[in-house]
Amino acid sequence: MGRPATLRIRGVRPHLAPYTENVSAASDTLAESAGRQPSVGTSRRPARRLEVAAIKSDFPVLDRQEGDDLVFLDSAASSQKPIAVIEAMDHYYRTSHANVHRGVYRLAEQATNLYEAARSKVGRFVGASDPSREIVFTKNATEALNLAVRSWGRANLRQGDAVLLTEIEHHANLVPWLMLAEEIGVELRYLRVMSDGELDLSQLEQKMTGARVVSFTLCSNVLGTLVPVEPIVSAARAAGATVIADGAQFVPHMRTNVRELGIDMLAFTGHKMLGPTGVGVLWGKAEVLESMPPFLGGGEMISDVRLDGFTPAELPLKFEAGTPPIAEAIGLGAAVDYLDGLGMEAVRAHELQLVEYAMRRLAEDHGDRLKIHGPQDPERRGGVLSMELEGVHAHDLSQVLDSRGVCIRAGHHCAKPLMRCLRVGATARASLYVYNDESDVDALSAALSEASAFFGLR
């Protein structure tokens, strides 16, 4: 099953326009999906159809050749990076690097301007009212959620206070709450996941009674489930609870407007939305962030320090201790520009069409031997397909597919409690993004057929 040792990387092709004409049918599909959760990634404007061949030419790694052509289906773990992001970071390091917010010389001011421009871009991308105060750069979504839990939670929760979560959470939105429960004794409640991958909201009001905060993912990284935001937020508001959302699998794929969502804080990460690793984001309402104490202490996050105390800096710097991820933030800004160029309505429309094709093709080719977890209605899910091939462990399946150049993720996907709900130890997960098309799904299905033959299942 080994592949040739030689590695060939073809030259980077010229940038091409990554989209073509408007497609009103895709917009209609999005609007129908929006009927269930109207503020989530939707728009009545016609969506442009993505020109995937042109998009692929913008991603150098997709030109990589090592045996079979590379079929990258692991964007839910980390997306690939377009030339525009790579060049933006390279240009910064070549021409403008200095520490930010500190120097008064021209180079430092240029670096600061680039860094703050990236903050503004990211804020506009998610509909922030005041990006200059409401966007906090972190290391990743995990750190952003830890910031929210540790800072807001410690300041506002006491022993016995209730926190409402769901059974489909990534560890990043579960372990920090478990740590807080051990530390101060908060009560953790959970919305149950049903067999179809949807959340059971029948006891939402009951479980929200007395809750001080609800924290939930907008899109499951395992099931692809698009969580119905509106009823959860409405119940939270009725209970006077704060709302925190994990948008790591949502923001890269859907039009996101935090004001329409009605939440108080949102965590997401750069590396899943075409940006670099090492930079994440916590958006929060300015009044919420103002009320929260600093998360980390040190340089940059202070306005004054004395031997008997300190005064924190204004937002957002009070949450950005030390030298921030400057180049990474600039790269994230370039990723936002790229996604804006595609249009997030077009991104969602493309993903929905591809999920529909994938579920149909995989069912036709593999029947009951292949189980896809999560909602069976493509409109109720993102571009995540967690699979079980009968008689084959997920890790073995992933290894065989890798020998055919198909990259998928195998494991518990940082969601062990959900794995226990599904009564599996691991799944094989394929995830789709803007640079995937039907040919990638075809390659996945063909590789699954070869895996079935390899393990003697046919």
Instruction: Determine the Cα–Cα distance for residues 223 and 199; give it in Å rounded to an integer.
Output: 11
Q: Indicate the SS3 state at residue 234.
A: helix
Instruction: Determine the Cα–Cα distance for residues 227 and 263; give it in Å rounded to an integer.
Output: 14
Instruction: Determine the Cα–Cα distance for residues 314 and 332; give it in Å rounded to an integer.
Output: 23
Instruction: Determine the Cα–Cα distance for residues 327 and 208; give it in Å rounded to an integer.
Output: 41
Instruction: Determine the Cα–Cα distance for residues 174 and 157; give it in Å rounded to an integer.
Output: 16
The dihedral through the CA atoms of 288, 293, 297, 300 has a sign that is positive
CB neighbour list of residue 365: distance below 8 Å, 6 or more residues apart: 445, 448, 449
Q: Indicate the SS3 state at residue 162.
A: strand
Is 421 a catalytic site residue? no
> CA-based diameter of the chain, in Å?
74
Query: Which of 219, 407, 414, 421 is flagged as catalytic?
Result: 414
Instruction: Determine the Cα–Cα distance for residues 247 and 169; give it in Å rounded to an integer.
Output: 11
Q: For tokens 């800004």, name the residue.
A: 333
79-to-198, 206, 273, 420 alpha-carbon distances in Å: 26, 39, 6, 27
Cα radius of gyration (the chain): 22
Q: Which helix (H) or strand (E) holds 213?
A: strand 211-217
Cα 364 off chain centre by: 30
User: Catalytic site residues?
Assistant: 414
